[in-house]
Amino acid sequence: MAEPRALENLTVLDLTRVLAGPFCTMMLADMGAKVIKIELPVSGDDTRAYPPFRTNKDGARESLYFANINRNKAGLTLNLKSEEGKQIFRRLAEKADIVVENYRPGVMDRLGLGYDELKKINPRLIYAAVSGFGCYGPYHLRPGYDILAQAMGGMMAITGARGGEPTRAGSALGDILGGLHLAIGILAAVNARSITGRGQRVDVSLMDAVIAATENTAIKYLESGQVPPRMGNRYAAVSPYDGFTCKDGVVIIACGNQKLFAKLCDEILGMPELVTDPRFTDMPGRLEHQDDLKVLIERWLADKTMTEATDILLAHGIPAGPILDISQILADPHVKEREMFVGMEHPTLGPITVNGCAIKLMDTPPSVRTPAPELGQDNDRLLAALGYTQKEIDRLADQGVI
Amino acid sequence: MAEPRALENLTVLDLTRVLAGPFCTMMLADMGAKVIKIELPVSGDDTRAYPPFRTNKDGARESLYFANINRNKAGLTLNLKSEEGKQIFRRLAEKADIVVENYRPGVMDRLGLGYDELKKINPRLIYAAVSGFGCYGPYHLRPGYDILAQAMGGMMAITGARGGEPTRAGSALGDILGGLHLAIGILAAVNARSITGRGQRVDVSLMDAVIAATENTAIKYLESGQVPPRMGNRYAAVSPYDGFTCKDGVVIIACGNQKLFAKLCDEILGMPELVTDPRFTDMPGRLEHQDDLKVLIERWLADKTMTEATDILLAHGIPAGPILDISQILADPHVKEREMFVGMEHPTLGPITVNGCAIKLMDTPPSVRTPAPELGQDNDRLLAALGYTQKEIDRLADQGVI
């Protein structure tokens, strides 16, 4: 008998757009939750108009961005400003486990669809929202974007070359961190519901999520009085732990403890005397004199490729690896075996590759099963399940309700 | 009556060290799980020797790094290489819900404490592991460190100044992403157990977690054949969406759509003609000519502070905000109201500030309740609960089992 999916008992009404919310519900859907993506009639999720694009089988420009993040979800269109649209949403919410939205706080309340209203019709409902700054606090009504969260959450201030500018992570990291925290909050609320019998509100702010990801930055500052500087690829607590230039790229070498450092000096660099060199005898010394150490390591690397250097270092038990770009990652045998990218057939785009799921549940594995929905593709099925006749459904479409 | 805690029904045996695992179990503990942190006798978690340090009330150097990430956890010492240590662990595992470890794959199996053994004594046990490369795949036995995950997961290749070096995020982002994915996997497995009645193995790799956080990088590359370049603080799909220099720092301005861009030109820059300027009429045009746009925006910013500029832009509905460093974040009224940093009294360190929890469960709020454990502080209580007498416990301590 086939194993069930990990979250197959959960139905999610997904009002989210763009990335933070859709990334969260993508993970839930990959793990088997029944996710109904609810979009505005006609226009749909903003990312349907985001690059990269491909000319689809109908000759139209279609977004791969949307296709990637919204696989495994059903598609329903609904105009929540219309009375009938609200009614349909309420009827769906009666039977759902989770509503997820990433409107600016207050929008759902003004529509009469806020948590206080919805919990009256379904006390077991979990209402999860992710926004730039959360649903309370002085900035809660500010517009939120990934880059603002990276900026105001403190990640940009600590990222970048020594002496260089504050630097944004090269992906929408604030959105990803927000989506991950939201997924944890939703699943924790599912567990809490098994204790209390009731749902609750889950609130995640992108800014909070980025702050959490700066881990010990605050205690470092509070203890030293010094704002931690940007320092390229180095780490304040460990050395050597950096990128080192070799013949064809950059190799990371990470010696987390004294034993590894001794191995590096003795077996790799052939300079056992470094272990007792007063500059390098302990971690504080190595942190202070890491420029000197770098020269010695890069001297050894000068005639070696990333692959050669990594192989030699690993053979001696020293943590090492190349800096890979996405072309190298896609070709990597480890990444392939981990199924971090998955090919699938899309009805209008043809064969596409989408991201895999990084959460490996070994007995109930996440999977990519169905392509991202066409706008409103499941309207008929979902409304028929609520008792609407095809004639009524056609009328709702004509009137712009769906 | 007080609300229960969201995860109070879950007992976690936490074998993790350093950051990825402890960050995961910190979130679980903040949400009320009973986390028993199991450490090596005498030495304990490596991070007990990581900076920042404070001289404690006994005059010894004590780590704030450890104190931050391990609050709310109980402390047990256990030598898992000793037969009696294994026996104690097995007895705890009989009654636990979750084991979390971040050893290199195979270590627990060699100790006779791998999932295949533990599930025999407790089929409901969830066994969660986070490691550099996961428990399968060609690299699974490689040593894993945060920086290797950032390098091999593709985040460094896309982060950094235009034309500059690949850049590591300024915190241990790979560990944080690994810990977040692991927490989702654990809670999904808890839900799956409510369906199947059985636990399962959860496997998270730091490299996978970083790859997931690069979101659409792969589809961009696959569709264009171009490896996405590093581009400082810009975003490939939206413009203006960047940092702009003002009088006292850098302000982020993010115009995600045409309407916001028109507002910026008209109401802020006082140059409504830009909207119909052929360079800027649509998003592809603005992406191509963003250097020109930057000059115009920075001309407006030249005589304004971050705060002044942010206030003006927000008053006109344009998403904006300053790049904040940790000193500014700690002083920020929004961050205070969101309780993203929490003061607590530590028995040996005195008053300390620790990170708050970014997952706001509104009816069962996460909280910081107890300080990080002293090494083995709960040995007597936990072993007495298993039926050991004080005399036996003293013998176990003398023999180095605990």
Compute the mean pLDDT over every residue in chain A, rounded to the nearest whole number: 96
For residue B272, the SS3 value is: helix
Distance from CA of B265 to the nearest CA of A (A): 18
Which residues of B, range 71-110, sit inside 8 Å of A by Cβ? none
How open is the CA angle B35-B41-B42, to the nearest 5 degrees? 125
- Catalytic residue at A175? yes
Match 């089988």 to its residue by tokens: A57
Tell me whether residues B166 and A243 touch, CB distance under 8 A. yes
How open is the CA angle B138-B144-B145, to the nearest 5 degrees? 150
Report CA dihedral (B66, B70, B75, B80) to the nearest 10 degrees: -80
**Nearest chain B Cα to A126, which residue?**
B361
The pLDDT of residue B314: 96
A335 touching B, CB under 8 A? yes
B208 touching A, CB under 8 A? yes
φ, ψ (nearest 5 deg) of residue A202? -115, 125
Catalytic one of B175, B203, B208, B242: B175
CB atoms within 10 A of CB B14: 29
ipTM of the complex: 0.96
Taking only Cα atoms into account, the Rg of chain A, rounded to an integer number of angstroms, comes to 25
* Residue B158: both structure tokens together: 């896309």
Average pLDDT of span A215-243: 90
Strand residue runs (E) in A11-87 = 11-14, 34-39, 53-55, 61-63, 74-77
Which residues of A, range 277-316, sit inside 8 Å of B by Cβ? 314
- Please enumerate in sequence order all residues whose Cβ is within 8 A of that of A245, keeping only pairs 6 or more positions apart, or say none: A298, A301
CB atoms within 10 A of CB A307: 13
Distance from CA of B288 to the nearest CA of A (A): 14
pLDDT digits (tens, 9 = 90+) for A281-332: 998 899 999 999 999 999 999 999 999 999 999 999 999 999 999 999 999 9
How open is the CA angle A51-A54-A58, to the nearest 5 degrees? 130
Contacts of A239 in chain B (CB under 8 A): none
* Residue A285: both structure tokens together: 């010394």
What is each CA distance from B136 to A327, A341, B104, B128, in whole angstroms? 22, 16, 11, 14
**Share of chain B residues as helix, strand and coil, in percent rounded to the nearest 5:** 40, 15, 45
Tell me whether residues B359 and A154 touch, CB distance under 8 A. no
pLDDT digits (tens, 9 = 90+) for A79-129: 999 999 999 999 999 999 999 999 999 999 999 999 999 999 999 999 999
The pLDDT of residue B251: 96
Tell me whether residues B160 and A170 touch, CB distance under 8 A. yes
Q: Are β-strands A98-101 and B250-254 bridged in parallel, bridged antiparallel, or unpaired?
A: unpaired
Q: Which amino acid is at B296?
A: L
pLDDT of A1 higher than 60: no
B9 touching A, CB under 8 A? yes
For chain B, which ranges sit under pLDDT 70?
A: 1-2, 236
Listing DSSP states for A273-297 in one string gives: GGGGSTTTSSHHHHHHTHHHHHHHH
Question: Residue A338 in contact with residue B205, Cβ under 8 Å?
Answer: yes
Average pLDDT of span A136-145: 94
The pLDDT of residue A2: 66
Tell me whether residues A137 and B168 touch, CB distance under 8 A. no
Question: Residue B220 in contact with residue B236, Cβ under 8 Å?
Answer: yes
Length of chain B: 402
Closest-CA residue to A31 (of B319, B332, B304, B190): B190
Listing DSSP states for B206-255 in one string gives: HHHHHHHHTTTHHHHHHHHSSPPPP-TT-BTTBSSEEEEE-SSSEEEEE-
Contacts of A240 in chain B (CB under 8 A): none
By CB atoms closer than 10 A (0-12, 13-18, 19+), residue A45 is buried
Tell me whether residues B358 and A154 touch, CB distance under 8 A. no
Closest-CA residue to A134 (of B345, B358, B20): B358
A317 touching B, CB under 8 A? yes
Distance from CA of B148 to the nearest CA of A (A): 6
The pLDDT of residue B307: 94
* Residue A207: both structure tokens together: 């800014």
Taking only Cα atoms into account, the Rg of chain B, rounded to an integer number of angstroms, comes to 25
φ, ψ (nearest 5 deg) of residue B345? -95, 125
How open is the CA angle B210-B216-B218, to the nearest 5 degrees? 80
Distance of CA B55 to the CA centre of its chain: 27
pLDDT digits (tens, 9 = 90+) for A273-285: 999 999 999 988 9
pLDDT band at A141 (very low <50, low <70, confident <90, very high): very high
A402 touching B, CB under 8 A? no
Q: CA B68 to CA A223: how far, in whole Å?
A: 12
Q: CA A338 to CA B209: how far, in whole Å?
A: 11
Closest-CA residue to A165 (of B151, B328, B160): B160
For residue B71, the SS3 value is: coil
Q: How far apart are the first and last CA of chain B?
A: 39
Closest-CA residue to A6 (of A372, A370, A363): A363
Which residues of B, range 134-153, sit inside 8 Å of A by Cβ? 134, 136-140, 142-148, 151-153
φ, ψ (nearest 5 deg) of residue A259? -65, -45
CB atoms within 10 A of CB B168: 30
Closest-CA residue to A37 (of A356, A345, A376): A376
Closest-CA residue to A269 (of A304, A221, A234, A217): A304
Tell me whether residues B133 and A50 touch, CB distance under 8 A. no
Partner residue facing B155 (CB), from A134, A170, A256:
A170
Give the DSSP letter of residue B303.
Answer: T
Contacts of A192 in chain B (CB under 8 A): 4-7, 361, 363-364
Q: CA A188 to CA B33: how far, in whole Å?
A: 10
Q: CA A259 to CA A393: how far, in whole Å?
A: 70
For residue B6, the SS3 value is: coil
* Residue A182: both structure tokens together: 């939201």
Pick the residue of B19, B61, B126, B152 with the most A CBs within 10 A to test the interface with A by mutation: B152
pLDDT of A399 higher than 90: yes
Q: CA B262 to CA A375: how far, in whole Å?
A: 28
**Nearest chain A Cα to B250, which residue?**
A166
The pLDDT of residue B288: 92
Contacts of A140 in chain B (CB under 8 A): 334
- Please enumerate in sequence order all residues whose Cβ is within 8 A of that of A98, keeping only pairs 6 or more positions apart, or say none: A10, A11, A12, A13, A28, A33, A125, A126, A127, A128, A186, A190
* Helix axis angle, B173-196 to B206-213, nearest 10°: 100
pLDDT of A234 higher than 90: no
Q: Is the dihedral of CA B359, B360, B361, B364 positive or negative?
A: positive
* Residue B270: both structure tokens together: 């006082």
pLDDT of A235 higher than 80: no
The pLDDT of residue A250: 94
**Run of H or E residues at B201:** strand B201-205
- Please enumerate in sequence order all residues whose Cβ is within 8 A of that of A87, keeping only pairs 6 or more positions apart, or say none: none
Q: Are β-strands B74-77 and B34-39 bridged in parallel, bridged antiparallel, or unpaired?
A: parallel
Q: CA A196 to CA A183: how far, in whole Å?
A: 20
Question: Residue A131 in contact with residue A140, Cβ under 8 Å?
Answer: yes
